[in-house]
Amino acid sequence: MTRKILVTSALPYANGPIHIGHLVEYIQTDIWVRFQKLRGNRCLYICADDTHGTAIMIRARKEGRSEEELIAAMSESHQRDFAGFGIEFDHYGSTNSEANRDLCHQIWQSLRDANLIVERTIEQLFDPEAETFLADRFVRGTCPQCGLTDQAGDNCNNGHTYAPTDLIDPKSTLSGATPVMKAANHLFVELEKLHGFLADWVESGDALQSEIANYLKGHFLADALRDWDISRPAPYFGFEIPDAPGNFWYVWFDAPIGYIASTAQWCEINNEKLDDWWKSDDCEIHHFIGKDITYFHTLFWPGMLKTAGFSLPTKVHIHGFLNVDGKKMSKRDGTLVSAESYLKYAHPSYLRYFYATKLSTRVEDLDLGIEEFADKVNSDLVGKVVNLASRVGKFAGQTGLAATYPDDGGLFKNAAEAGDEIAAAYEAGDFSRATRKIMELADAANPFVEHAKPWEMKKDPAREGELRDVCTIALNLFRQLAIYLAPVLPELAGQCERLLGDSITHWDQSKTPLLGTPVAKFERMLDRLNPEELQKMIDESKEVADADAAGDAIADAAAQYNDSDQPLKDEPLADEISIDDFTKVDLRVARVIAAEHVPEANKLLKLTLSLGGDERRQVFAGIKAAYEPEALVGRLVVMVANLKPRKMRFGLSEGMVTASGPGGAEVYVLGIDEGAKPGQRVH
């Protein structure tokens, strides 16, 4: 019986690019969706950008553009990155849509009607520099229960939960300032009124992995549930609450509703009914999320859905985090690799396969070891799967496939029978088990070719029939592997299709050999992965991070002073230096003779400066948000001429241009009168 399935991944936040840690989830979901479609099920993959909140507002302000312009650019970037890794959505929307606004109103009214909303005046952390109240995610400090430092605003890595106001030594992640307490009216969902329903839902069925159910029962459901703070006062980028002017729905209210809104947009395009997907017992709903947002998807979200009359999740698939070489991903180490950077150095199929070999039904962190990554790709994909086709492909183009399937000692039959076990592993989300079983089949198939030695048969015209039989067996065994790996490696499945002239459209094609057809000219499929290329990727990512940090240096220094050139409140001055230290700084007049963007960097412009005569300096300046390159050409500026040159991926930076301002679009390069001469010292 054909199943009807709606699948979502967590909505990526529109405040930054996609990186390889994010891709764990989207590749995992895409594999599962592709498997369902290959099995003949009707499966819809829905996603959208999560676009609201303080971070978007602050970033747009710093970059001198509207929030709408920012989120449009990020949506384009996100979708390009996803497409680069073969991740295919049936619809990709935005939480900043009228469809989402309408559904927020509808679900809010349901919560009101159920008497679940209460209003209270609370004191909340407020960033005096960014001039905004701080959501939990924008506060870090020391856990008040276990003393763990540098922890998130609402929970620590040891599993303790608390209010951000309970943090010890809190700091705003937006500005680094120490937050202050400020009173404001907030609206809350009284989640405890849904305690009985949520406890039953967690206990019953297979909606949650066992360790997640036990976690919820032990950490939350054992006691009364805290009221959920669902509103934020202005200023805030989001949807204003219709019956509470001046207040906006917290991003975690409208973000999951974006699942439904994006489905509604797809339904409108395809002339379908939303209720058939979100209010039907005939439709399964599957969410794929990371373990860090378990709380929202397993307590708040089911409560909202139940109250508003929408279907509850059939399954919430929760995965762990990605580590690189045993350590948490880090910009400083170069391991926080963007999707864009990865694609410069390695094939997306490699990452899709490696993640598949690591993903199981358990909520476990994955580790991407550089050596292991290369070894697994080279051994499994190149040495076993592709090798099976490449060793006979150049001969099969001349012989074609035999009309009847030759005796292969049971290899094809055994692989066909393994299809049900592999399918069960995919269905359960145990991709690690699925790929292990597929590689066992590859291990069994390769010795057949090695023993048959088709390259020797080719030398003897009298053995053409034998050669055709060997090619027929090897390519049909390869085709079985390509079918089983199609959810993980859609590009390899496409290469198999072009080679054999037969589209892979259904899982059950693995049960019947392809016979009596021509074979196309063999084309190279996958090359070996060089660990040195991966190290270059890491090195580049570190350089980009260092460059962006260097680009922030001007703004960071300027942020110590306000408009009246006085130290900001609670912001210490830099360490004192002597006059002798200061006189070491060689400030010179320079003329900008060329300026251009640095595409690989978010904040840098490349400037060519003249210091008079033939002396030229190349400088990378973190002023991209404030200036178009052409506006700088011809200007006289003040530069630090004796700064030690710094080797960057983009080139050598041979000094620093002086500037001031709070940062972002408000950075002002220090100019000098036209009467000055390039090279002249500034006193």
Query: Could you give the 3-state DSSP secondary structure of residue 216?
Result: helix
State the DSSP code for 542: H
In sign, the C-alpha dihedral spanning 79, 80, 81, 85 is positive
- Cα Rg, the chain, nearest whole Å: 30
Tell me if 636 sits within 8 A of 674, measured CB to CB.
yes
CB proximity list for 25: less than 8 A, separation 6 or greater = 9, 10, 288, 289, 290, 319
Tell me if 153 sits within 8 A of 164, measured CB to CB.
yes
Q: Which long-range contacts (CB under 8 A, 24 or more apart) does 244-252 make?
A: 244/119, 244/185, 244/187, 247/185, 247/186, 247/187, 248/52, 249/52, 249/104, 249/108, 250/135, 251/50, 251/52, 251/53, 251/135, 252/296, 252/300
Two tokens, residue 68? 């709408």
Residue whose entry in the numeric block shows the structure tokens 């962006």: 548
Hey, which residues does 327 pair with through a beta bridge? 324
Helix (H) or strand (E) holding 617: strand 616-621
- φ/ψ region of 314 (left if φ > 0, alpha if ψ in -120 to 50, else beta) reads alpha
Question: Could you please report the per-residue DSSP string of 428-487?
Answer: HT-HHHHHHHHHHHHHHHHHHHHHH-HHHHTT-GGGHHHHHHHHHHHHHHHHHHHHHHTT
Note if the bond before 233 is cis, omega within 30 degrees: no
Hey, which residues does 587 pair with through a beta bridge? 640
Two tokens, residue 330? 């880090």
Q: How far apart are the first and last CA of the chain?
A: 83
Annotated binding site: 331
Taking the C-alpha atoms of residue 159 and residue 157, their distance in angstroms, rounded to an integer, is 5
Tell me if 504 sits within 8 A of 482, measured CB to CB.
yes
- Nearest one of 603, 599, 597, 676 to 635, comparing CA atoms: 676
How many residues appear in the chain? 683
Annotated binding site for ATP: 331
Taking the C-alpha atoms of residue 442 and residue 436, their distance in angstroms, rounded to an integer, is 10
The strands making up 366-368's β-sheet, listed across from edge to edge, are 327-328, 322-324, 366-368
